[in-house]
């Protein structure tokens, strides 16, 4: 396709205009020309149409090329302007070029006309491109300046080292600090001297020269000009790839005082939630023990009718168990309101104490490996905060492994040199305790890693979290003068490494020995068959004996998988599923769902001392969810079983006379 060319001719000779048009067409362009010979006509043509080039005779009777050039500039137009004349001398041509003409040609030598016009059109396009880019750059700089002024952030450069002052600061520093830039630039030691005494060591470590290509971030308190304390995030990186004899660091200061206040409130909320979960787990285990005591006491009461003193003693035990059950509920409520305080404790015991809860928290298919060393040092912090950190990271790992995987939790001592060898910078000197949680999950996208610990940042789907877990972990670690690092690669898992300063040695007390389980008594049954699923051995034993004593035939299993295997081999009818709610690998809700897919007419009775929202919600029009609270009495369990079996819903009964066990 032929490229069009629009040329405006300032020429009083029509013949010369035709000659110029013919010469332009030699270049293969589709040429459109317009001839004018007065100032008014020239101005009207420029305003009414767009032109690619202006070709002007220098001398006209009433209008000159120089006048045309001035008028073009007055209108602010940047068009290629070429003088084409037969009378201009070299000196006049040079003067015209100085005034803004781009080139000149003699009418008797027009062979270069096409080349000159094409060149000037290209040059004009480049000029307009540069001008447009410069305009966009100036506008971008203006917007960036306004943005920096509106944000709680200040930029700076300084020499590397804690005692080195600023060499340049942005204007916004006055708003953050209440001090003029001249004050901070004039006294190199002023900034470091106003850092909070408790944060100076951490700030000094952060002021060291970062590794080439690396970035250092440190949070500390700084005394504002008004006398109050402000929290700053100080982030810096070296200028240039290689540190010179006097390395320079560039960075920014961000006022995070509001965030710190929110984090404090968040930590308290998260701590109460973690304590609630921990207390719930403990209450679950304690209620199981109380259930065993009460259940076997009730059984003993049915077997010793002639010994009055023994009956009274057993009744006292049963009454005390009931009081202990109420006390457990009160302790659970109270534990959600306990105040945290920094204590000297053994983190190894804390981790081992959480192992059972962690295994219950993780879903089926996730293998948990807890690795500790006997010589792990003590730490000084709120024990519930350490438990909260471990629980939050374990929950994140669980969510990252929906199809299963492996979570390794390791606790060991660490030195400053060892941490540096791993590329980790510790805010305080001396020995530390290192806590590592490594999973084989989906990993974290690289674009999220730089801001991973910011509040409300989450990569989970809607309804699976609000992005506060990791920010809480980071806040707890920093509050206890520790450090946290994360390494992740999408598809290859995530490793969190946390460091806490060691406190003086603490010798952990010896663990209490476990009591052996009591023997199981076999009692013939005469009524319906009941499938019992309970992970606690003594509770399985107790449930079986109570049901057998009540005339039922119990099929006893230790977990959901055993129950499913038994259903495949058992040909007789089963009237009821009695299942614990909270169990490792497969909870009671999942057990019921899978059992009902095989035996849809089966009735279900849940039992638990702490449900933690695991029970299915009752929907309109559906039968009620049957539930019995642990610990239960002999009479209470038998009454509830009878109530569920006698309810107006489908069911089958099969008489039998023996108990069946599928547990070893």
Evaluate if residue 55 carries a pLDDT over 70: yes
Span 490-514, pLDDT tens digits: 888 999 999 999 987 554 443 333 3
Residues 245-254 have pLDDT tens digits of 567 888 889 9
- Between 646 and 309, whose confidence is greater? 646
DSSP β-bridge partners for residue 606: 579, 627
Spatial distance between the Cα atoms of 295 and 630, rounded to a whole number of angstroms: 10
Rounded Cα distance, 194 and 176, in Å: 14
Tally of CA atoms within 13 A in the half-sphere of 471 that contains its CB? 20
Cα 492–chain centre separation:
17
User: What is the percentage of the chain residues whose pLDDT exceeds 90?
Assistant: 21
Tell me which fold the domain 343-503 belongs to: Heat Shock Protein 90 (3.30.565)
More confident residue, 518 or 619: 619
SS3 state at 472: helix
267-316 pLDDT per residue, tens: 766 765 666 666 666 666 777 777 778 778 777 777 766 777 777 777 77
CB atoms within 10 A of CB 594: 15
Pinpoint the alpha helices (H) of 550-633. 560-569, 588-598
* Predicted pLDDT at 558: 93
Surface-to-core class of residue 196, CB atoms within 10 Å of its CB (0-12 exposed, 13-18 middle, 19+ buried): middle
Residues facing residue 411 across a β-bridge: 372, 435
Report the chain's C-alpha Rg in angstroms: 42
Q: Are 75 and 46 in contact (CB under 8 A)?
A: yes
* CA atoms of 344 and 461, how far apart (whole Å): 39
Count of H-run helices and E-run strands, the chain: 19, 23
**For the chain, the helix, strand and coil percentages under 3-state DSSP, each to the nearest 5:** 40, 20, 35
- What is the chain's length? 664
Scanning 374-463, the segments in alpha helix (DSSP H) are 383-400, 416-421
Domains 4-128 and 529-661 share a fold: yes
Average pLDDT, rounded, for the chain? 79
pLDDT at 532 over 90: yes
Calculate mean pLDDT across residues 616-620. 57
Model confidence band, residue 657 (pLDDT cutoffs 50, 70, 90):
very low
Q: What are phi and psi of 466, to 5 degrees?
A: -115, 10
For 276, the enclosing helix (H) or strand (E) is: helix 257-303
Q: What is the DSSP letter of 193?
A: H
d(CA 158, CA 165): 6
pLDDT for the residue numbered 212 = 66
* Residue extents of the structural domains in the chain: 4-128, 151-255, 261-335, 343-503, 529-661
Q: Is the pTM of this model over 0.75?
A: no
What pLDDT is attached to residue 649? 63
Residue 421: strand, helix, or coil: helix
Can you tell me which residue has the tokens 């104490």? Answer: 353
CATH superfamily, region 529-661: Response regulator (3.40.50.2300)
Q: What local confidence, expressed as pLDDT, does residue 359 receive? A: 85
pLDDT of residue 60: 79
- Is a pLDDT exceeding 60 seen at residue 618? no
The domain 4-128: what is its CATH number? 3.40.50.2300
The residues near 139 (Cβ < 8 Å, ≥ 6 apart) are none
How confident is the model over 81-108, as a mean pLDDT?
78
CATH superfamily of 151-255: PAS domain (3.30.450.20)
Instruction: Note the Cα 579 to chain centre separation in Å.
Output: 37
Cα separation, 231 vs 224, in Å, equals: 10
Long-range contacts of 178-187, Cβ-Cβ distance < 8 Å, separation of 24 or more: 178/224, 178/225, 178/226, 179/225
Report pLDDT for 139. Answer: 85
What is the pLDDT at residue 301? 76
Strand partners, 552: none
**Which secondary structure element, helix H or strand E, spans residue 106, and what is its range?**
strand 103-106
Q: What is the pLDDT of residue 75?
A: 86
Q: Flag whether pLDDT at 122 surpasses 80.
A: yes
Q: What are 255's strand-pairing partners?
A: 232
Q: Please determine, for residue 206, whether its predicted confidence score (pLDDT) is greater than 80.
A: no
**pLDDT given for residue 440 in this prediction:** 94
Model confidence over 430-488: pLDDT tens digits? Answer: 899 999 999 999 998 887 887 787 654 455 544 444 345 687 788 888 888 899 999 99
- Tell me the C-alpha to C-alpha distance, in Å, between residue 396 and each of 355, 388, 390, 611: 16, 12, 10, 21
Poorest-confidence range of 107-121, 318-332, 407-421?
318-332
């Amino acid at each position: 396709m032929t490229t069009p060319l629009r040329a405006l001719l300032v020429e009083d000779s029509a013949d010369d205009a035709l000659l110029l048009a013919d010469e332009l067409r030699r270049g293969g362009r589709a040429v459109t020309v317009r001839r004018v010979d007065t100032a008014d006509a020239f101005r009207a043509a420029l305003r009414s149409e767009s032109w690619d080039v202006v070709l002007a005779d220098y001398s006209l009777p009433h209008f000159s090329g120089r006048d045309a050039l001035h008028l073009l500039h007055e209108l602010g137009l940047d068009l290629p302007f070429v003088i084409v004349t037969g009378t201009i001398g070299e000196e006049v041509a040079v003067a015209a070029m100085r005034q803004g003409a781009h080139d000149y040609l003699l009418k008797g030598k027009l062979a270069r006309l096409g080349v000159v016009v094409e060149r000037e059109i290209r040059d004009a396009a480049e000029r307009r491109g540069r001008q447009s880019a410069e305009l966009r750059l100036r506008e971008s700089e203006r917007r960036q300046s306004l943005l920096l002024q509106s944000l709680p952030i200040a930029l700076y450069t300084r020499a590397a080292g804690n005692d080195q002052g600023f060499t340049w600061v942005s204007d916004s520093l006055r708003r953050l600090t209440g001090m003029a830039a001249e004050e901070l630039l004039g006294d190199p030691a002023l900034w470091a001297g106003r850092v909070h005494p408790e944060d100076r060591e951490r700030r000094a470590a952060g002021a060291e020269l970062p590794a080439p290509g690396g970035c250092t971030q440190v949070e500390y308190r700084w005394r504002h000009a008004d006398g109050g304390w402000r929290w700053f995030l100080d982030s810096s990186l070296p200028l240039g790839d290689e540190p010179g004899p006097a390395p320079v660091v560039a960075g920014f200061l961000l006022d995070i005082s509001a965030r710190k206040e929110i984090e404090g409130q968040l930590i308290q909320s998260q701590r109460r939630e973690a304590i609630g979960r921990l207390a719930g787990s403990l209450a679950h285990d304690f209620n199981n023990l109380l259930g065993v005591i009460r259940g076997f006491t009730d059984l003993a009461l049915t077997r010793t009718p002639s010994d009055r003193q023994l009956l009274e003693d057993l009744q006292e035990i049963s009454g005390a168990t009931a009081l202990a059950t109420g006390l457990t509920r009160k302790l659970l409520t109270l534990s959600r309101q306990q105040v945290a305080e920094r204590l000297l404790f053994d983190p190894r015991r804390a981790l081992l104490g959480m192992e059972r809860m962690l295994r219950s928290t993780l879903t089926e298919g996730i293998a948990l490996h807890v690795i500790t060393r006997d010589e792990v040092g003590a730490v000084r912090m709120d024990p519930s905060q350490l438990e909260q950190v471990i629980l939050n990271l374990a929950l994140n790992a669980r969510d990252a492994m929906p199809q299963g995987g492996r979570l390794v939790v390791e606790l060991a001592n660490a030195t400053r040199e060892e941490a540096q060898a791993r590329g980790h910078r510790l805010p305080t000197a001396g020995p530390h305790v290192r806590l590592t949680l490594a999973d084989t999950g989906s990993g974290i996208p690289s674009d999220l890693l730089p801001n991973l610990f910011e509040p409300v940042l989450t990569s989970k789907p809607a309804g699976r979290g609000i992005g506060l877990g990791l920010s809480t972990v980071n806040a707890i670690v920093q509050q206890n003068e520790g450090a946290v690092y994360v390494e992740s690669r999408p598809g290859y898992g995530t490793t969190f490494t946390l460091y806490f300063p060691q406190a003086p040695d603490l010798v952990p007390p010896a663990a209490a020995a476990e009591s052996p389980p009591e023997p199981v008594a076999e009692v013939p049954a005469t009524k319906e068959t009941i499938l019992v699923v309970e992970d606690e051995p003594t509770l399985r034993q107790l449930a079986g004996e109570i049901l057998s004593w009540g005339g039922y035939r119990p099929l006893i299993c230790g977990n959901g998988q055993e129950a499913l295997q038994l259903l495949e081999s058992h040909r007789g009818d089963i009237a009821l599923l009695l299942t614990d709610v909270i169990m490792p690998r497969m909870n009671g809700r999942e057990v019921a769902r899978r059992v009902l897919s095989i035996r849809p007419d089966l009735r279900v009775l849940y039992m638990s001392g702490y449900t933690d929202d695991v029970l299915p919600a009752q929907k309109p029009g559906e039968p009620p969810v049957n539930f019995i609270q642990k610990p239960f009495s002999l009479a209470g369990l038998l009454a509830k079983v009878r109530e569920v079996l006698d309810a107006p819903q489908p069911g089958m009964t099969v008489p039998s006379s023996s108990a069946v066990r599928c547990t070893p």
